[in-house]
Amino acid sequence: MIRLHLLLLTLVTSVSGPVFGQPVEQQEEQPAISEGTEAKSKLPLEQLQTFADVFYQIREGYVEEVDDSTLFEYAVKGMLEGLDPHSVYMTREAYSDLQTQTDGEFSGLGIEIGRRGSYIEIIAPIDGSPAAEAGLQSGDVILKLDDTSVKGLSTDEAVDLMRGPVGSSILLEIGRPGEAKPFEVTIIRDKIKIASVRSRLLAPHYGYLRIAQFGRSTGQEAGEAIQKLATDGPLRGLVIDLRNNPGGVLEASVAVADLFLDEGEVVYTKGRHPSAGDSYSATSGDALSGAPIVILINGGSASASEIVAGALQDRRRGIVMGTRSFGKGSVQTVLPISESRAVKLTTARYFTPNGRSIQAEGIVPDIVVERAQVTSVEGRRITEADLQGSLTGDGEANPQDEGAESESLANLRENDNQLYEAFTLLKGFTLLAGSMPAAPASSPAEVANRESTDD
């Protein structure tokens, strides 16, 4: 027990030590702490004694011998997992994986996960990943990984089970909202290379910018993509697709919003510690010179993608369309506690420029459009031109075939009705502005064909 009490003394000493990993000599520069806060920060000896007693009983009576360091790791993990789904204890391997994902390449299934009760929920599959190709969706709940139930597992433990050699398979049991029974799906592990930004023209002068997640270089990549889209002339409108974007680097989301905002606040954070509060602002200049923007979001849009959508919505720079976003509005800070260990701790909340908290609320679209399979019910319509003996028009013949145009629009609606609505809204903005677009009437067919191959 003497050694145990010495370990507890070390724990108490570490609690009163550096805040947010700062050197001890800098602590005097921190803002003064009130008496109430100082009293609250002291660990009560009675509860420490209870912890010591439980520790001792496990150490002496558990069916298998467990060393002290392992028990302390379990205790730390339990403390963090009891706070919120995103605060975790990180081993060297976990921290290395975090860095690798931030850089845009890692191995695995290609899903962003979080905890839902005792199970693991899929926040979003990554574009082009094995998980996306297998048909996994945002909101799916993982019940089993091979023969192992994930009930009660931490996200790190679930990730460890999902990792494996490239080419190896894993069997997932999935529960999907709206379906009566769980189903199984086998996924082949692969190297996940995240194409952070993809772009194309929906029609001449109408751009499409797909951001799959926010890595370190996403802001720069998005800026270059917009320049490329505008090669043949200024864009008259842009769709920014943030659906199933699980987030990523905060600074990257600020850089993307900065492309379209001419100064002003993008997002700010607030936390209990003074250093957790910060504000991020845009610089002068708008890459689209005020051209209209539609931002697509859904339940898989989280964190950094919600920052972009919320900023453009609050600043009235774009119309948000789709369905309510995921609602991850918390900031995690990685705090090293040794050379091989770190803590990822939730330290603040995100707020949009108008002061809205994203956490557990999400971003509500300006125009709600559910993803749906849309089929025309009109069929072939009889027009004046079909009537026997009808007069011909006085004007020049229309070189475009109306039937082909209707068919191309129907294909676009069937492939992605949300993108179709966003595209037509952009064209509506142009018409209201009194400038007819130069796009040919048949251009939606190209959109439908590209959509079926690219997404």
Active-site residue numbers?
303, 314, 328
Q: What angle do CA 417, 418, 422 make, to 5 degrees?
A: 115
**Which 3 state secondary structure label does DSSP give 437?**
coil
Contact (Cβ atoms closer than 8 angstroms) between residue 326 and residue 123: yes
Distance CA 214, CA 448 (A): 26
Distances (CA, A) of 171 to 113, 157, 184, 192, 369: 16, 16, 7, 18, 33
What is the crossing angle of helices 250-258 and 218-229, to 10°? 30
Distances (CA, A) of 377 to 109, 405, 409, 410: 40, 16, 14, 11
**Both tokens assigned to 305:** 């993608």
Spatial CA neighbour of 315 closest among 339, 335, 286: 286
Distances (CA, A) of 47 to 54, 59, 74, 186, 277: 11, 18, 18, 47, 32
Contact (Cβ atoms closer than 8 angstroms) between residue 112 and residue 124: yes
Longest dimension (CA), the chain: 107
Distance, C-alpha 231 to centroid of its chain: 30
- Alpha helices of 204-277 — where are they, by DSSP H? 218-229, 250-258
Instruction: Give 241's strand partners.
Output: 210, 296
Whats the size of the chain, residue-wise? 455
